[in-house]
Amino acid sequence: MQKVKACKILGKSFEYFSQIRVSGFSHLKGESTVSEQLLKEILGELKTVKNEIQEVKTGQQKLETRMENKAFCKLDALFDGYSLSQIEKLQKHLDQRLDSIEIDTRYLVSRVAELEKMIK
């Protein structure tokens, strides 16, 4: 956020100095050449700063993209490995639980059949 504000401020300053350069310093006769030279130096430095900021932004975007790609690849790999092992464990657990329920159901069915025979 601060970078954006700084860029806006630099952009406004650049526009302001450009307008001053275009309008000139005709009202200052003896000082006009010194002021114009100073203004040219400031404008040159301002252009340099703007270029450097743009280079930093470009580098930052490249770095962010590279980091995101690497991080997502690693996270996907971890998630895939975790999911597969968890699914296998869950399947094994559910199979054991189903076997246990099946045994309990057989017992209950046989017990009900015995009780029905006793009642008749």
Residue 28 resides in a domain: yes
Q: How many domains does the chain have?
A: 1
The per-residue b/e assignment along 64-80, b for 16 or more CB within 10 angstroms, e otherwise, is: eeeeeeeeeeeeeeeee
**pTM for the model:** 0.39
- Give me the pLDDT at residue 77, please: 75
| pLDDT of res. 84 | 74
Residue 112 lies in a domain: no
Domain presence at residue 106: no
**From residue 36, how far is each of 39, 46, 47, 61 by CA, in Å?**
5, 15, 16, 37
Domain housing 7: 2-86
pLDDT above 70 as % of the chain: 71
Percent of the chain, pLDDT > 90? 41
17 domain residue, yes or no: yes
